[in-house]
Amino acid sequence: MAPRLCDGGVRAADVSSETRRIPRRSMREDAGMAQLDLTRDVVDLTADLCDIESVSHGEQELADAVEAALRALPQLRVDRDGNTIVARTDLGRAERVVLAGHLDTVPLTDPPNLPTRRIDDLLVGRGTTDMKGGVAVQLALAATVAEPTRDITFVFYDCEEIDEEFNGLRRIVAQHPEWLAADFAVLLEPTNGGIEGGCKGTLRVDIATKGISAHSARPWNGHNAIHDAGPVLDKLAAYQPETVTVDGLDYHEALNAVGISGGIAGNVIPDRCVVTVNYRFAPNKTGQEAYAHVCSLFSGYDVSLGDCADGARPGLDTAAAQSFVTALGLPVTAKEGWTDVARFSALGVPAVNFGPGDPNLAHTDDERCPVQQITDSYDALRRWLTA
């Protein structure tokens, strides 16, 4: 697929006279393990992280480098599970916060959109937006804030970009929940440098209609299940989703058909049709409540639940969240998608999304991040952690 060109942007494959390579230092000081210098400028550190390729299931080299760099910091206790690294201060502060980000990226393009390039005020390449800018901010803070005013847990996890069963944060929640105990958490996913509170939940259901097979030349001998799906689609088209206010933030719900299947041959009246529906629901509902809502809308139909994930309340009424918002001095909006903040919420830890990069550019061929957002995110979090 040709590289996608966004407004005001550049293609990752473009190289011109205004393009410069980020100078490499302390990346591979020998022929062995990649090494990271956490004292580097945070933008250059972002480029260093991106250039250690870490497509999902291939994070080991980067995880090794992150672990080694963190173990060199005397103020941190470091634990590892697979390719997930957790580092913590233990300074006896009254409050503990989590800064979390994933190490993996989606696959590279062909030709590869690495190594990174600096083009004017943009850092271009795979991972610059999703989400090694955020990971670089975490690492820079770990190295430069030795005496934070609150204890910090840094979480770097694997396999976020693929099926949930492989997600490193999910694994830590299940096997080492004590590693994540905290008063508040920040997930440094790209938010264009804004604060996005909590997240919506999501579920998928299959709504099935049943007919009777027959030869299509004699349809009166059967009953067409695909035709019976018409009222399901009509109901979806007419549905008016709610906007729900939770902790002062407005979450816009959505209910949509995302797939339809039926029929076995061009000369057979279909005896079954399935409409797959995705419901994005506000975090005032549990997954069970959301499923019950969908079932009530399609009463009389066979409605089977596929996957389901609860959302996360932002917890903006907590003291820890309020101090974060005050220190950053930024407006807070609702996270309209689902993110791993929900895993912290399930542990009773309120969480927000905050990080550099435009989420609309995540996974694109011309993935890129404004360097100012990376430095601004670092400065904002440092201000909070030292206030």
Token pair for residue 319? 């003291």
Determine the Cα–Cα distance for residues 70 and 82; give it in Å rounded to an integer.
Answer: 16
Could you say which of 104, 130, 161, 366 is catalytic? 104
Long-range Cβ contacts of 325-329 (<8 Å, 24+ apart): 325/195, 327/380, 327/383, 327/384, 327/387, 328/195, 328/354, 328/380, 328/381, 328/383, 328/384
Determine the Cα–Cα distance for residues 34 and 316; give it in Å rounded to an integer.
Answer: 40
Establish whether 196 is a catalytic residue.
no
Residue 236: HSE in the Cβ half-sphere, 13 Å Cα cutoff: 20
3-class state of residue 372 by DSSP: helix
- DSSP state for residue 127 in the 8-state scheme: T
3-class state of residue 54 by DSSP: coil
Determine the Cα–Cα distance for residues 134 and 141; give it in Å rounded to an integer.
Answer: 11
CA distances from 253 to 195, 196, 205, 245, 311 (A): 19, 16, 16, 11, 12
- Are 122 and 12 spatial neighbours (Cβ–Cβ below 8 Å)? no
CA distances from 6 to 10, 48, 360, 361 (A): 7, 25, 10, 8
Pick the closest to residue 12 from 142, 105, 78 (CA basis): 105
Establish whether 104 is a catalytic residue.
yes
Token pair for residue 148? 């934070």
Determine the Cα–Cα distance for residues 366 and 4; give it in Å rounded to an integer.
Answer: 6
Active site (catalytic) residues: 104, 160
